[in-house]
Amino acid sequence: MSETSVFIPSGPNDCAKLGPTGWTSCQDGAEVAIYGPVSGQVIGKVHAYTTHEVDEAIEKLEQGYQTWKRTLLVDRARLLHQWADKLQENAPQLANLLMLEIAKNRRDSLDEIQRSADFIHYTAEEGLRLTGETLFGDAFPGQTREKVSMVGRVPLGVVLAIPPFNYPVNLAVTKIAPALMGGNVVILKPPTQGAFAGMNITNLAYEAGIPDNVIIAVTGVGRVIGDYLVAHPKVNMINFTGSTQTGQHIAQKAIMVPLLLELGGKDAAIVLPDADIDRARDNIVSGAFSFSGQRCTAVKRVLVVKDIADQLSAKVAEKVMALTVGNPEDDCVVTPLISTQAADFVWDMINEAISQGAVSLTPLRREGNLVYPVVLDYVTRDMRVAWEEPFGPVLPIIRIDGAEEGVALANASEYGLQAAIFTQDVSRAFMLAEELDVGTVQINGKTSRGPDHFPFVGTKASGMGAQGVRYSLLAMTRLKSTVLNI
Ligand code: NAP
Ligand code: G3H
């Protein structure tokens, strides 16, 4: 098959499977067709793992675990650095693949690869600094100093990593790198759209020297093999990013294993009358529309105080109309949505809101999966778009009486990922931030995950646990105490 490190499918009959010796054609068995969002056509196929093959993969990982958990930290770190270098070397090809598979524009695709390489390097370094502690018994009543606990961190075992389509490289790497650095082995279930990306980064890990019994990518449709993977008795931890619906399903199926769940969001940008309006506009527009709004942290509603609502909405609409719309190769901001079903969902939500009285400040236009960006003003609480996550290029504006109403409306959401407050009164912003029931509050900036050593947390339906280099390392290892009785 491919002679370069990165395998890019060349057409609908190209079916790929990643084995220990590299790429092979799919031989017997089921295949999964991967559709390109731009063409709407099959761009290639991947092998659909059977439950038997999943068992074989996990068995192989269990063998690998015996060696990997004993591999010196410096050696694990060195291999991770080499993997990051491989990603960087192959960034242009990987970006081509992301453009094809998920229609992410070239600049953002390249950023995703670079960010992933940076994440791996940082994790390799941070993992070296995970230290334990020593406790002496005499701090507790009735005990003596002759009892000493040495507390350290140990791996969990087999980690199941399930990333979503919108960051098939980055949200795979942010799971795999801390898991491996912590001494775990990883079974990666890539998203269907993003399956080629998932297999390619796994292959680059092999090329970097990471053994093929330490990470294995198993491809297949989530709803077909997902339950089997999630409830597998030999999976020791699940690290999932995706929709709240799937996350809740996984939480019901998983049996007594730690879960790290990063789920959906409905992040609000609250704009107060004393805000720097141009700064708010710039952050809101890039926050809402980059990668066509297909980001968990996208600004998904603006809550603006009435006094400045006309001014802000006009400025936002003007900037949105200047956004580039089209193909990922042309570096357009708004590109075709991941599927026709996704585009239908957004389109229906927009039209429903308009039929209920919302006013579109931008022309309504759709060509297949390509939905042109929409700013909806005069959105009210009875509209679906005020509460649901569209995962597409639509920004609802809700007019409010004051900051307190904004906080109440933000908190009334089932989600609790992030919120933004735009005001020049930073003390007030701090007071309001205290009241917001979200994982992160951004003051005078758009909602977003990075930098990736910051904690990334969701409350309520937005998730469980914390991501971020150090937090992920902690989540994918556990404490172990060895007590010396002198
Ligand atoms: P999704 O449909 O929930 O899929 C996410 C992943 O789960 C995919 O790999 C999918 O595989 C897999 N999956 C589906 N059903 C499964 C099952 N029964 N068991 C195990 N795995 C299963 O989400 P998406 O459409 O890819 O991503 C969009 C959603 O993710 C949005 O709601 C967004 O807000 C959220 N998201 C959240 C964050 C965060 O950090 N909070 C980050 C990114 C995205 P298939 O592709 O094969 O179905
Ligand atoms: O889609 C969810 C991602 O975790 C968001 O990351 O804010 O860097 O785009 P981002």
pLDDT of residue 326: 98
Residue pair 16/25 in contact by the 8 Å Cβ criterion: yes
AA identity, residue 303: L
Do 421 and 289 belong to one domain? yes
Do 454 and 473 belong to one domain? no
- pLDDT greater than 90 at residue 50: yes
Alpha carbon distance 299, 419 (integer Å):
8
* Closest ligand (CA of 391): 1
How many Å lie between the centroid of ligand 2 and the Cα of residue 353?
26
Do 122 and 233 belong to one domain? yes
* Closest ligand (CA of 172): 1
AA identity, residue 299: V
pLDDT of residue 23: 87
- Residue 338 CA: which ligand 1 atom is closest? 25
Residue pair 277/246 in contact by the 8 Å Cβ criterion: no
Residue 223 lies in a domain: yes
Alpha carbon distance 255, 326 (integer Å):
44
296 is known as an active-site residue: yes
Do 412 and 390 belong to one domain? yes
Show the ligand 2 pocket: residues with CB < 6 angstroms: 166-167, 295-297, 448-450
Show the ligand 1 pocket: residues with CB < 6 angstroms: 162, 164-166, 171, 189, 191-192, 221-223, 226-227, 230, 241-243, 246, 249-250, 262-265, 296, 389, 391, 417, 458, 463
Residue pair 17/47 in contact by the 8 Å Cβ criterion: yes
How many Å lie between the centroid of ligand 2 and the Cα of residue 189?
19
Residue 444 lies in a domain: yes
- How far from 258 is each of 208, 261, 281, CA to CA, in Å? 29, 10, 40
Residue pair 153/444 in contact by the 8 Å Cβ criterion: no
- pLDDT greater than 50 at residue 140: yes
Question: 384, exposed or middle or buried, with CB in 10 Å at 0-12, 13-18, 19+?
Answer: middle
Go through 238-251 and write b for each residue having 16 or more CB atoms within 10 A of its CB, e for each that does not: bbbbbbbebbebbe
DSSP string over 285-351: HHHHHGGGG-STTS--EEEEEHHHHHHHHHHHHHHHHTS-BS-GGGT-SB---S-HHHHHHHHHHHH
Do 435 and 449 belong to one domain? yes
pLDDT in tens, 350-403: 999 999 999 999 999 999 999 999 999 999 999 999 999 999 999 999 999 999
Measured in residues, the chain has a length of 486
Residue 309 lies in a domain: yes
How many Å lie between the centroid of ligand 1 and the Cα of residue 83?
25
Do 343 and 452 belong to one domain? yes
- Residue 417 CA: which ligand 1 atom is closest? 41
pLDDT in tens, 91-110: 999 999 999 999 999 999 99
Between the two ends of the chain, the Cα-to-Cα distance in Å is: 62
pLDDT of residue 194: 98
The residue assigned the tokens 């280099």 is 469
AA identity, residue 119: F
**Residue 4: which pLDDT band, with cuts at 50, 70 and 90?**
low
262 is known as an active-site residue: yes
- pLDDT greater than 90 at residue 29: no
Q: Probe ligand 1: pick from 162, 221, 232, 261, max atoms within 8 Å of CB?
A: 162
How many Å lie between the centroid of ligand 2 and the Cα of residue 302?
18
Over range 306-316, report the average pLDDT.
98
Give nearest CA residue, ligand 1 atom 31. 243
- pLDDT greater than 70 at residue 3: no
pLDDT in tens, 336-349: 999 999 999 999 99
- How far from 370 is each of 121, 132, 358, 391, 437, CA to CA, in Å? 36, 52, 22, 13, 34
Alpha carbon distance 301, 316 (integer Å):
12
Residue pair 84/170 in contact by the 8 Å Cβ criterion: no
Outline where DSSP puts E strands in 352-451: 359-360, 366-367, 370-371, 374-377, 394-400, 415-416, 418-422, 440-443
Domain that holds residue 430: 268-459
Residue pair 39/328 in contact by the 8 Å Cβ criterion: no
- How far from 347 is each of 50, 58, 328, 334, CA to CA, in Å? 36, 42, 21, 15
Alpha carbon distance 272, 307 (integer Å):
9
Pairing mode, strands 268-271 and 394-400: unpaired
Do 176 and 240 belong to one domain? yes
How many Å lie between the centroid of ligand 2 and the Cα of residue 319?
22
- pLDDT greater than 70 at residue 2: no
- Out of 101, 112, 126, 262, the active site residue is 262
Residue 4 lies in a domain: no
Of 174, 169, 42, 37, give the one whose Cα is nearest residue 94: 169
- pLDDT greater than 70 at residue 1: no
Residue 189 lies in a domain: yes
Do 202 and 292 belong to one domain? no
pLDDT above 70 covers what percent of the chain?
99
Do 251 and 115 belong to one domain? yes
- Out of 15, 101, 112, 296, the active site residue is 296
Give nearest CA residue, ligand 1 atom 42. 296
Residue 343 in tokens: 């585009």
Residue 6 lies in a domain: no
Over range 437-462, report the average pLDDT.
98
**Residue 207: which pLDDT band, with cuts at 50, 70 and 90?**
very high
Question: 230, exposed or middle or buried, with CB in 10 Å at 0-12, 13-18, 19+?
Answer: buried
Alpha carbon distance 389, 387 (integer Å):
7
Over range 41-56, report the average pLDDT.
96
How many Å lie between the centroid of ligand 2 and the Cα of residue 67?
34
Q: What phi and psi, each to the nearest 5 degrees, are found at residue 88?
A: -65, -45
Q: Any bridge partners for residue 268, and if so which? A: 301, 419
Give nearest CA residue, ligand 2 atom 7. 448
* Closest ligand (CA of 191): 1
- Give the count of domains, the chain: 2
DSSP string over 30-99: -EEEEE-TTT-SEEEEEE---HHHHHHHHHHHHHHHHHHTTS-HHHHHHHHHHHHHHHHHTHHHHHHHHH
Do 204 and 292 belong to one domain? no
CATH code (residue 149): 3.40.605.10
Q: Alpha helix (H) ranges present in 243-276? A: 244-253
Residue 8 lies in a domain: no
CATH code (residue 297): 3.40.309.10
Residue 88 lies in a domain: yes
Do 292 and 321 belong to one domain? yes
Do 256 and 302 belong to one domain? no
How many Å lie between the centroid of ligand 2 and the Cα of residue 167?
8
Residue pair 417/296 in contact by the 8 Å Cβ criterion: yes
Q: Probe ligand 1: pick from 102, 241, 266, 459, max atoms within 8 Å of CB?
A: 241
pLDDT in tens, 173-193: 999 999 999 999 999 999 999
